[in-house]
Amino acid sequence: MKNIEYIVTGMRCAGCSGAVQKKISTIDGVTNCNVNLLSGLCTIEANEEFDEKIGLNTINQLGFKAEIKNDNNYSFGNDYYYKGWELIVSIVFASISLLYNFGSMFNWFVTPNPILNTVISMILALPVVVIGLRFYIPGYKFLFKGYPNMDSLVSLGSSVAFIYSLILLFIAIFTGNSSYTQNSMFEAATMIIALIYLGKFIEQSSQNNARDSISGLLDILPTDAIVLEKSEAKAPYDGKEVEKCVNLIEVGDLVVVKAGERIPVDGVVKSGTAQIDSSSLTGESEPRDIQVNDTVLGGYTVLSGKIIVEASKLMGDASINTILRLVSESQNNKSAVTKIVDKVSYYFVPVILAISFITFIVWFFITKDFSFAINRFIATLVVACPCAIGLAIPLANVLSSSVSIKNGLVYKNTDIHNSMSKIDTAVFDKTGTLTTGDFSIKNIELLAENLETKDGKSQLITIDSVLSIIAGLETNSNHPIAKSLVLAAKEKHLTAKPMTNFTDYSSKGISGTSDINNTEYFFGNNKLVSEVLNVEKDSDSLYLFTNTQLLAAITLTDTEANGVKTLLDFLQKKNIHIVMLTGDNKDTAQRIGKRLGIQDIRSELMPSQKYKIIKELKAAGKKVIFVGDGVNDAPSISESDIGISPYGSTDVATDNSDVYLLNKNLSTVKRAYKISTYTAKIIKLNLVWALSYNIIGIFLASGIFSFAGILLQPWMSALIMAVSSICVVLTSLSVKFKFRKTK
């Protein structure tokens, strides 16, 4: 199977995206199709033999424009179909037309001749009708193809009002009977177009703004950079400075970045110091200092200083592109609710058409008044709004994705918004999550004076020799403790002892054989000591030993992660149960848990046991969020209702998570919770409003309550339809305004 993505332009409402999805799904070889109205992205899953051009031609034949999306294009194609000047013209002429029509009631702006008044109304309507071709052409085209959409409702309602009024005017002119003009609706034809245009223009602007806030991330990168030419000189940073296109920078290139400039690539600082602003990517508002060997990302701004950065990734693999890819994928992952709403939206227009025709027939049969029946037909057509329903979820999701980036996180799956509000249990891995994972050596206790080697020789045991042996054992490990000990040896300028025949003892330690004296060394916790030497030792330390003697006990300290107290306090106020999982011994786990204020502490766990605990919690009816960063955490992250991986997590953990943090501040999880729960509320509000509005609007427009004097004129229906979309837009925009600044 293979996935193909098309960028589709010209879709105006959920009916359009539904038509594309339904048509593509009928093609042989296509097993799944998903269309996102807001991003304009059509994603299909098909067999390997499927020809991409078939899908492309199918979309184009429907009347839309499509192109195959390339791998590095994460932009959300903006749509400027509705023009500002056209909106102004239509509003001005429609307003004059409406006032002129009301003038007969108040005796203003009118001639004594009713027929001439109607002719003037027609002339005022013509500019708006011409602008209305934006609705008429696609509306009737999709109607005749069997895929009616929002444009079809608007164009049918407006054109019927205009043509019917035109017929009445011609009859009045040819018969000289001005009474025919009393039922003309030129003002309705114009107001329908003007008000719907207003709603669509505001809707378009908000959608483009939401897209820009995401795809605009690419704009923060400079197009060119200053790169050092390859130099034969011994000093690596004295090459000639040349300008180079950012897209052509290769891994290993040395990029010069000065104060006031943005770092163009992901890389490692090789020379210099600087103060940087990383808020555009991490959401951290406070500037921070960087120095040699620090990692930086493309998009950071150098506030002061000068640095030379060695590029570690090509532009296509840069963090910014990764973020955009994750956001793009998240918008195309539809929840069960979204799929139901899409299905309702797809069938909505045909149902409204049917209701409108039934309304016309019923009222004509009851009243024998053609004008009244046609008036109800038009009002019912126009009042219904599939756009409000179709936008209810995707617009809120895109805006939440937009603000999430500014707040230092990325939602990989927007389906979690509803799940987040139901979370009652938060589970954390300890090392590297609740704590920094940057261990420091508190104490090294030598347990032997000499090492008895296999060749019968005796070697003096020192702290330096202990560190060299441990560095040799742990050089290739990615475990936080291993990295910290290897770094400690490097800081003392010690050489790691060469080792072979490594054996990993899961959650206990490691062993390897020295290339120098052929001695097998073990380094691990008290469980490994007991297993190899049958000796009971304190669980607070790690031990270096051979299969015959203990050599040293190493005690390490770990500090709590940045923002952890803020997050835990927040979760406790929300009455969310907190659980800490760790492979550490009970005493160490209890000490750290007590310091953090955590009561439920599970220690001495294997990775499989962590996964089992998550399953047990879910089986007990708990809604679980899991935060972890390691390879061993991946199964637990995947099994939890919501998995979160902090910045710097392993690729496996990140791939399995639902939320990825762009910084190492754990309080960002608090922001993720707030944004998600608020977005879920907005989505529910949008859906309730859109559905209830349509139901009530259809009842009022169809004339069911006319006996009580409640009757919507067609232009009133147009106003209500426009307001419905605007309300969905405004409530969705509240997500952006509420979380505009990091908190």
**332-335 CB contacts, 8 Å cutoff, 24+ apart:** 332/34, 332/36, 332/39, 332/41, 332/43, 333/413, 333/414, 333/415, 334/34, 334/36, 334/415, 335/393, 335/414, 335/415, 335/418
Say how far apart CA 207 and CA 394 lie, in whole Å. 10
3-state secondary structure 486-551: HHHHHHCCCCCCCEEEEEEECCCEEEEEECCCCCEEEEECHHHHHHHHCCCCCCCCEEEECCCCEE
Angle between helices 668-701 and 714-738 (to 10 degrees): 170
Angle between helices 186-215 and 84-106 (to 10 degrees): 150
Cα-Cα-Cα-Cα torsion 717, 720, 722, 727, nearest 10 degrees, comes to -160
Q: Please choose, from the candidates 718, 76, 71, the residue with its C-alpha nearest in 3D space to the C-alpha of residue 395.
A: 76
Record the tokens describing residue 239, joined without a space.
């090459």
Q: Please, where are the H alpha helices in 293-393?
A: 319-332, 336-367, 370-383, 386-391
Say how far apart CA 433 and CA 111 lie, in whole Å. 79
Q: How far is residue 507 CA from its own chain's centroid?
A: 35
Say how far apart CA 268 and CA 447 lie, in whole Å. 40
Supply the DSSP symbol for 392: T
Element (H, E) at 600: strand 600-602
In the Cβ-directed half-sphere of 455, how many Cα atoms lie within 13 Å?
8
Burial 254-293 (b: 16+ CB within 10 A, else e): bbbbeeebbbbbbbebbbbebebbbbbbbbbeeeeebeee
Q: Please choose, from the candidates 51, 69, 35, 46, the residue with its C-alpha nearest in 3D space to the C-alpha of residue 147.
A: 35
β-pairing, 301-311 vs 254-258, is antiparallel
3-state SS assignment for residue 41: strand
Q: Quick one: how many helices (H) and strands (E) in the chain?
A: 24, 26
β-pairing, 267-277 vs 295-296, is antiparallel
Measured in degrees and rounded to the nearest 5, phi and psi for residue 45 equal: -115, 125
Q: Please choose, from the candidates 312, 298, 234, 293, the residue with its C-alpha nearest in 3D space to the C-alpha of residue 262.
A: 298
Tokens 């299969």 label which residue? 547
Angle between helices 394-406 and 319-332 (to 10 degrees): 160
Angle between helices 52-61 and 14-25 (to 10 degrees): 140
253, 266, 429, 641: which one is catalytic? 429
**438 in active site:** no
Record the tokens describing residue 459, joined without a space.
């070697």
Say how far apart CA 110 and CA 117 lie, in whole Å. 6
**Contact residues for 141 (Cβ-Cβ < 8 A; gap 6+):** 63
Rg of the chain over CA atoms, in angstroms?
34
Q: What are the catalytic residues?
A: 429
